[in-house]
């Protein structure tokens, strides 16, 4: 709503109203600015695999419930057969209890019959509980399907709107004045939460390739996205010492999204690869937060697959040397532990699988025999 002016009737009116309420960012399309701050992660990222995994997990639990119910049904069937048999025996022997022995047999059958009734009651309660649980799981599956449909539709609708905005209202890379967009949009929102950090990376990876549509095939395909990530990665090192630990973690999440164009980074190798030397330099400084934050960012980037970059391989030896030095010589015990843990993490992520060892001579002889 527009406060005293009533309901906003169009997107253009909303953009104008917001522009009148804030300090307009210089060298940045206001429409792009408002669009960026209006969307959320769920509006542009459809986690299809996560939904599929949830459904597979729920279906597996349903199968387990069906097996349990089948087992209970089988047990109830056996108990019912035994119950009918005992009822027949009791009916036949009720008039033939002349001796003490016959009386004891009749009482034992009566006792067994009561036990079977008690077991049947317990099985029925167990089956009712399993049936209710199965109904809840089916409701969860239906709810997940509805949520998947809504999320997919929302993402597709938003992407259609973004494509129209790129085509009709924005002018491609010109509206992405990198420094202005980074400082007015990406940097402040990235600091807000882990979801917002992922949103910033997803927004870039979603919107910037749209600016390439319409170009002739092979004409700088992916250039916009690659230029943007190259600029951001080159700027990241300047931020390390000014962030909290939580913000450093979020910066790592944001930077890990640059994996989308790692395979195309050869054309901008110097600027794109500057992330790793910059982080190594920060690890070499004496200030505690700078070193801690650098390791936070590194761990997230390594965990999300940026170790496959050629630029990482070129700096890996130097990086491990610096981490080894921190692990052995740092005064702060937590920095030592972080450095040792990160070293093991990097080695584990990048080492090649060991070749299969040949069998020992005795085992070889046994195999031949």
pLDDT grade for 91, boundaries at 50, 70 and 90:
confident
Q: When comparing pLDDT for 79 and 11, which is higher?
A: 79
In percent, the amount of the chain with pLDDT more than 70 equals: 84
Q: What is the DSSP string of 283-324?
A: HTSS-HHHHHHHHHHHHHHHHTTGGGSHHHHHHHHHHHHHHH
Question: Is the pLDDT at 175 greater than 80, yes or no?
Answer: no
Q: Say if CB 313 and CB 319 are below 8 A apart.
A: no
Q: Which of 156-160, 262-266, 307-311, 327-331 has the lowest mean pLDDT?
A: 262-266
Question: Is the pLDDT at 246 greater than 90, yes or no?
Answer: yes
Q: CA-to-CA distance for 343 and 316, rounded, in angstroms?
A: 10
Q: Which of 23-27, 230-234, 326-330 has the lowest mean pLDDT?
A: 23-27
pLDDT grade for 293, boundaries at 50, 70 and 90:
very high
Q: Which of 42-46, 88-92, 229-233, 262-266 has the lowest mean pLDDT?
A: 262-266
Q: Which of 12-21, 23-32, 134-143, 169-178 has the lowest mean pLDDT?
A: 169-178
pLDDT score at 294? 93
pLDDT in tens, 16-34: 888 788 877 777 788 888 8
Q: When comparing pLDDT for 288 and 179, which is higher?
A: 288
pLDDT score at 291? 92
Question: Is the pLDDT at 75 greater than 70, yes or no?
Answer: yes
Q: Return the closest-CA partner of residue 228 out of 205, 196, 246.
A: 205
The mean pLDDT value for 348-352 works out to 60
pLDDT score at 45? 83
Alpha carbons within 13 A on the beta-carbon side of 230:
18
pTM as predicted: 0.70
Question: Is the pLDDT at 165 greater than 60, yes or no?
Answer: yes
- Reported residue count of the chain is 369
The mean pLDDT value for 140-165 works out to 83
Question: Is the pLDDT at 354 greater than 60, yes or no?
Answer: no
Question: Is the pLDDT at 331 greater than 80, yes or no?
Answer: yes
Question: Is the pLDDT at 174 greater than 60, yes or no?
Answer: no
Q: Is 273 helix (H, G, I), strand (E, B) or coil?
A: coil
Across the chain, mean pLDDT equals 81
Structure-token pair, residue 289: 């937060």
Q: 114-118: list long-range contacts, CB under 8 Å, 24+ apart.
A: 116/79, 116/82, 116/83, 116/86, 117/83
Which of 224-238, 329-343, 349-363 has the largest mean confidence? 329-343
Q: Say if CB 298 and CB 341 are below 8 A apart.
A: no
The domain limits of the chain are 48-168, 178-211+224-261+271-350
């Amino acid at each position: 709503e527009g406060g005293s002016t009533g309901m906003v009737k169009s997107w253009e009116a909303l953009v104008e109203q917001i522009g009148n309420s804030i300090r307009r960012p210089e060298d940045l399309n206001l429409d792009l600015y408002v669009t960026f701050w209006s969307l959320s992660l769920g509006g542009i990222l459809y986690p299809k695999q996560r939904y599929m995994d949830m459904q597979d997990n729920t279906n597996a639990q349903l199968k387990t419930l069906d097996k349990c119910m089948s087992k209970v049904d089988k047990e109830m069937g056996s108990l019912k057969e035994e119950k009918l048999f005992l009822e027949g025996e009791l009916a036949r022997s009720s008039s033939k209890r002349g001796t003490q022995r016959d009386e004891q047999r009749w009482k034992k059958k009566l006792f067994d019959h009561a036990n079977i009734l008690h077991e049947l009651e317990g099985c029925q309660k167990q089956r009712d509980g399993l049936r209710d649980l199965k109904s809840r799981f089916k409701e969860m599956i239906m709810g997940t399907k509805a949520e998947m449909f809504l999320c997919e539709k929302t993402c597709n609708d938003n992407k259609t709107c973004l494509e129209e905005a790129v085509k009709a209202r924005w002018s491609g890379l010109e509206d992405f004045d990198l420094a202005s967009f980074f400082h007015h949009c990406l940097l402040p929102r990235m600091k807000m939460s882990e979801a917002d950090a992922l949103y910033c990376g997803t927004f870039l990876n979603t919107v910037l390739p749209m600016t390439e549509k319409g170009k002739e095939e092979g004409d700088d395909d992916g250039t916009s996205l690659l230029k943007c990530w190259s600029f951001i990665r080159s700027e990241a090192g300047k931020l390390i010492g000014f962030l909290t630990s939580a913000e450093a973690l979020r910066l790592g999440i944001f930077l890990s999204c640059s994996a989308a164009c790692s395979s195309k980074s050869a054309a901008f190798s110097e600027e794109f690869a500057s992330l790793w030397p910059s982080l190594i330099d920060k690890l070499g400084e004496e200030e505690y937060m700078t070193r801690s934050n650098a390791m936070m960012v590194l761990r997230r980037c390594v965990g999300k697959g940026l170790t496959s970059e050629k630029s990482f391989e070129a700096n890996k030896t130097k990086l491990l040397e610096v981490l080894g030095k921190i692990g052995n010589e740092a005064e702060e015990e937590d920095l030592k532990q972080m450095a040792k843990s990160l070293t093991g993490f990097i080695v584990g992520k990048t080492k090649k699988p060991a070749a299969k060892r040949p069998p020992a001579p005795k085992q070889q002889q046994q195999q031949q025999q």
